């Protein structure tokens, strides 16, 4: 089993980031000087993926423009001798083969993934949510792919979250079967803290079998009237044993205000060009408040 293809759902409305998402996809919000989705695509490429399908929707054209070549801009930068900038812009246009499919209505993550069925064409595939950035030594999706290929199993990326936050995530229960790997017994979407079987949360990275499409198709709308991927994965459990891998890395949910700001601050601090000055200014600011 080899995972070559990745699907990046990016068609959600992003209501938690309104009003900016009224006219701008949340996947295009800048983290320092690159859009969120740049980090996600890069993670997939660094994991050895060479074919990426982005699920887009209404108002998401900026994503396609970003990954496209921009000959006018390249010409202008060359004329002006801005060669470093030219290199950066050219590299983005040549990153990898990226394909697009439109989800006409935002009917949920399960429905978005279902739009990948034709493209995936019967192969196991990776899913990376377009609004979760994970910074890690080994790319987060590669951590999952290694387990999936070794165990010939579906794998869900998970992370421990504080108990009061379980209601924002899909939560799993399961037995630990290896270092950072669990056999999933059950999965619940956004449980109340009382119902939650654990604090192990599903965090936006998956390796899935193509059979998942059949299970998504059978689903009635779940919580919030949306077709939930979690529900399909739960229904698969009896016939497709599924593993969960605790992801090593720092995750930013940039679809939330705090996650977005933290990503900018922390990744800004790591930058050679602005990191030092940003730290000085932050220290100053903290002393003042």
Q: Give the interface with ligand UTP as residue ranges (CB under 6 A).
A: 9-16, 55, 103, 106-109, 111-112, 129-131, 255
**Which residue's Cβ lies closest to ligand UTP?**
12
Q: Which C-beta is closer to ligand UTP: that of 49 or that of 77?
A: 49
Q: Write down the least CB distance from residue 274 to ligand UTP, Å.
A: 28
Q: Which is nearer to ligand UTP, 44 or 86 (CB)?
A: 44
Rounded to a whole number of angstroms, the minimum distance from the CB of residue 101 to ligand UTP is 10
Minimum Å gap between C-beta 67 and ligand UTP is: 16
Tell me how far, at minimum, the Cβ of 113 lies from ligand UTP, in Å.
8
Minimum distance from CB of 9 to ligand UTP (Å)?
A: 3
On whether the CB atoms of residues 20 and 56 are closer than 8 A, the answer is no
d(CA 207, CA 193): 27
Which of 11/188 has CB closer to ligand UTP?
11
Angle at 87 between CA 139 and CA 132, to 5 degrees: 30
Q: Which is nearer to ligand UTP, 40 or 47 (CB)?
A: 40
DSSP H or E stretch at residue 46:
helix 36-46
Q: How far apart are CA 25 and CA 54, in angstroms?
A: 13
Pick 221 or 275: Cβ nearer ligand UTP: 221
Residue 253: both structure tokens together: 């949910």
Longest CA span, the chain? 63
The span from the CA of 205 to the CA of 247, in Å, is: 9
Q: Which helix (H) or strand (E) holds 145?
A: helix 140-151
- Strand 30-31 to 34-35 pairing: antiparallel
3-state secondary structure of 6: strand
Structure token digits, residue 100: 């697009």
Which residue, 87 or 168, is less far from ligand UTP as judged by CB?
A: 168
Query: In angstroms, what is the minimal distance from the CB of 108 to ligand UTP?
Result: 5
């Amino acid at each position: 089993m080899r995972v070559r293809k990745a699907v990046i759902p990016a068609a959600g409305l992003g209501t938690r980031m309104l009003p900016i998402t009224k006219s701008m996809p949340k996947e295009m919000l800048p983290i320092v000087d690159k859009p969120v989705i740049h980090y996600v695509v890069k993670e997939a490429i660094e994991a050895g993926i060479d074919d990426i399908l982005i699920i887009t929707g209404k108002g998401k054209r900026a994503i396609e423009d970003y990954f496209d070549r921009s000959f006018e801009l390249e010409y202008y930068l060359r004329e002006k001798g801005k060669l470093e900038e030219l290199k950066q812009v050219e590299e983005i246009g040549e990153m990898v083969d990226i394909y697009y499919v439109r989800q006409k209505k935002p009917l949920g993550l399960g429905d978005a993934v279902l739009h990948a069925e034709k493209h995936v064409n019967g192969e196991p595939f990776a899913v990376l949510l377009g609004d979760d950035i994970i910074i890690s030594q080994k790319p987060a999706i590669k951590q999952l792919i290694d387990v999936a290929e070794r165990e010939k199993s579906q794998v869900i990326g998970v992370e421990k979250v504080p108990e009061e936050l379980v209601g924002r995530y899909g939560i799993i229960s399961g037995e630990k079967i290896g270092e950072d790997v669990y056999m999933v017994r059950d999965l619940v979407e956004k449980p109340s803290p009382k119902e939650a079987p654990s604090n192990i949360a599903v965090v936006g990275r998956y390796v899935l079998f193509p059979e998942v499409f059949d299970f998504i198709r059978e689903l009635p709308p779940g919580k919030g009237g949306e077709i939930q991927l979690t529900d399909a994965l739960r229904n698969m459990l009896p016939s497709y044993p599924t593993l969960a891998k605790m992801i090593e890395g720092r995750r930013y949910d940039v679809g939330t205000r705090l996650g977005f700001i933290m990503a900018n601050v922390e990744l800004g601090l790591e930058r050679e060009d602005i990191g030092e000055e940003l730290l000085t200014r932050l220290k100053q600011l903290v002393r003042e408040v």
